Amino acid sequence: MELCAQGVSYSYPDGTRAIDGISLCVSSGEVSCLLGPNGSGKSTLLLLLSGLIRPESGSITLDGVDIGKLEYRRTCGILFQNPLDQLIAPTVEEDVSLGPRQLRLSPEEVEARVRSSLARLGLLGLEGRSPFRLSGGEASKVALAGLIALDPEVYLLDEPSSSLDLKGIEVLKELLRELKGRGKIVVIATQDSDFAYEVADRIYILSGGRIIAEGSSEVLSEVELEGIGIRAPAALRIYRRLSPPLIEPPKNIESLIDALRKLLPSS
């Protein structure tokens, strides 16, 4: 399965061009990251890929078919940057059950999906709580649990790590590995270069509504991220300060430590 944008442009009602001629294709079994600062167009691009807004020019297709001609809401799920924009039910349990109920599953299957998704994110025990009485991290995980319960083929996640603590981020990374292994399409909008560096199979760097660079995680070592308002991953910042440098940029802090250990004389 392949989700593609071809020559997509979009302007806000005041005439500001938010997306300017973007083309990309994301495939099943891959985690793709849209990396850019605030105002770069990444959230708007997610909305376009979700079908919630339509491009003024260009097309968005799933396996070659315009998403407007598909029952796309059954195929695609989106996590908004602010979870309160999508939490609407009186309780956590009811909110997470909305997607499965729309699929007209049996009550037993709905309950199983709700419990499984809540357990997956460490939320069991919060079923009866109001979504509006949760911390920011808990609310984000409840919104994500709703997507997991829906189990779409396409996951579009806007800043999913921004309000999570360390444990929550590790749970999210494990979930992304699971979705990738199940052949899902995952697109993440983020300004966290460390997160993108670790989880993405492919990274699209956005600035001013355009893709200015794309590639595997190595593309982050080829672009002057600070020039567009993004802090380079910590491992890359340390790598650039080493003299002499390592043979190749490290994937993360752990691989950097391993490489440095090989260079240091053993005691």
**Is pLDDT above 70 for 54?**
yes
Quote the percentage of the chain above a pLDDT of 90. Answer: 62
Which pTM does this prediction carry?
Answer: 0.88
Whether residue 206 contacts residue 34, with contact meaning beta carbons closer than 8 Å, is answered with yes
pLDDT tens-place string over residues 5-27: 999 999 998 989 999 999 999 99
pLDDT at residue number 99: 87
Nearest-CA neighbor of 186 among 197, 198, 199? 199
**How far, in Å, CA of 260 to CA of 122, rounded?**
36
Whether residue 28 contacts residue 202, with contact meaning beta carbons closer than 8 Å, is answered with no
- Domains observed in the chain: 2-225 (3.40.50.300), 233-267 (no CATH)
pLDDT at residue number 241: 75
Average pLDDT over residues 94-107: 89
pLDDT at residue number 255: 74
Average pLDDT over residues 58-73: 92
